[in-house]
A and B are shown apart, each in its own frame.
Chain A
């Protein structure tokens, strides 16, 4: 019984650790990539777009952090976040390298 309990606890801690890693460091990377993308896409000049995107970033981070603890599958969570980060990061790179910066 205690062995089963230990294994269950181990699984639970692994689950929490995987979600926490997704919710904090991975989330920060994904939110940063999305913030950059929004700052590139918003109209009104570089400064206004940058400020608006920066202000939105906290809502994005909080939403993704909650999602990380709400969804059922940890594997899908990681795949989804990594994919979103790669797509946004790729778009950032493409937009900056073609459009340049101030």
Chain B
């Protein structure tokens, strides 16, 4: 490239960051929300009052429930919802006598009685969106997300190389100085949170590693299936051999917990009530930093252990720990908040980088009043991506409370509401002058988030005050978070409204551009 190494890396940082920045913002925002996936789901199913219960007795109660409701099935799976939400998720395969439309899943509370809640995908949808997107095939969605993640990795590394004074920028945040402030916000969020941002990008790629780079397996295996059979065996029900009663599940769960010293996360029962029955007890995914699960297989009739599976091997442990650190399921409440704040810093980094691209170029335009098409497109896409998605998420929460409870495909309609709202902001941004569009979109987002606790109070008996009085920390914190986010967007809208327009803004921008040579400016 023309110019030195630093200049070419600055160029690379700018363009990889811009081209994938909009998608990265969506991945970062929804991924950050996923640290509170369970809590979001609990807020979105207000009918469920979680009953704390001993997980071991929960598995026993769930088995009894399945014996009653799904006899003759070839496979039962019971998953604990983890230490943050007492409950059990059940899946089963019906036997040949069951009608074709018989249910195959249910949710139980900690005591083993079925829970009926509104149809919603809750926080799980936002989590899945962060790597599978929506409306498009997941296979190609993962490639898009992977390309964005790799562009992010290259943008981070080239950003580090471009940066002259990393330590000084730790303490540099100057407000109200136009371009300088945007650069400071971009630098502070990325430099201060650099370990997190590098970690989350690399471990994100590792989480879907074999999707992006299947050739490492192809070098040693003729077929990917053989590799997965060896590293993550998934036994299937054998041929049925004649009825025999299922051994009690309780002692098996207790034996596994004693052996591992950690909680059990799931129990799979193959061919229950048959002589060939097997019970596979697996450890909880939130028990440790690594997501690697240990499992103990029992004979389903005698109740004796027949096989133990413990993950081993340096590469396996490294991979599972990387994925575990990415997902943060093990995190204590305090660490979870830190994860969330770090994720927010990532969102700020991407958003401020996108805005910086336009702020930096505006001053250099031949006619700043009439920018060229590419510049206008970036400005509008920034509004659509940053304010549009945020507005959409607020509408997703509102739709959860406002859509009628009984309608068909309710969970899909919640999701559609989010994308309709997002698209509406995008169209609005295209139609309006940029500054007005920012102001209006940010105000609408602030209003929508502020409405979430209000609508919650009007449509359920679990308002912020009721939650505070009842000591319900999840509901109170969710409503409180909505108000904080609303305040954040309101503050941003106020900043846009107060910014001097026209002549004044051009002057600020021109002053900003004369700041070239200031450390760090060449990063953009």
Contacts and interface: CB of A to CB of B under 8 A. Distances in A.
Given A48-B314, A70-B5, A102 B222 contact: yes
Contact of B157 (A35, A66, A102): A66
Interface size range of chain B in the complex: 35 or more
B209 A54 contact: yes
Contact of B1 (A15, A37, A53, A96): A15
A47 B213 contact: no
B205 A58 contact: yes
Interface string B186-222: 0000000000000000100110011011011111111
B1 A70 contact: yes
B1 A69 contact: yes
B11 interface: yes
A19 B231 CA distance: 38
A36 B218 contact: yes
Interface in A31-61: 31-33, 35-40, 44-55, 57-59, 61
B316 A62 contact: no
Contact of A102 (B202, B226, B318, B319): B226
A50 B11 contact: no
Contact of A57 (B8, B11, B161, B216): B216
Contact of A44 (B157, B206, B216, B313): B313
Given A44-B313, A44-B315, A69-B11, A55 B153 contact: no
B213 A32 contact: yes
Most buried by B among A52, A54, A65: A54
Interface in A56-86: 57-59, 61-62, 65-66, 69-70, 72
B12 interface: yes
B115 interface: no
Contacts of B315: 44, 47-49, 51-52, 55
Interface size range of chain A in the complex: 35 or more
Contacts of B219: 35-37, 39-40, 50, 53, 92, 96, 101
B381 to A, nearest CB: 21
Interface majority SS (helix, strand, loop, mixed), chain B: helix
A51 B202 contact: no
Contact of B202 (A12, A45, A58): A58
Contacts of A52: 314-315, 318
B372 to A, nearest CB: 14
Contacts of A54: 209-210, 213, 216-217
Nearest to A29: B215
B9 interface: yes
A1 to B, nearest CB: 16
Contacts of B209: 54-55, 57-58
Given A44-B313, A44-B315, A102-B226, A36 B216 contact: yes
A90 B230 CA distance: 28
Interface in B234-286: none
B313 to A, nearest CB: 4
B153 A62 contact: yes
Contacts of A65: 150, 154
Given A58-B205, A69-B9, A50 B213 contact: no
Interface in B431-474: none
A69 B13 CA distance: 11
A47 B227 contact: yes
Contacts of A49: 220, 315
Given A58-B202, A72-B1, A101-B221, 20 more contacts: A19-B1, A31-B213, A39-B216, A46-B227, A47-B220, A47-B230, A48-B316, A50-B217, A51-B316, A52-B318, A54-B213, A54-B216, A54-B217, A57-B213, A65-B150, A66-B9, A66-B12, A66-B158, A69-B11, A101-B220
15 contacts: A39-B216, A40-B219, A47-B231, A48-B313, A49-B220, A50-B217, A51-B231, A52-B315, A54-B216, A55-B315, A58-B153, A58-B202, A96-B219, A101-B220, A101-B222
What are the 6 tightest A-B residue pairs by CB atom distance, in nearest-first order?
A: A54-B216, A46-B220, A36-B219, A39-B219, A51-B315, A52-B315
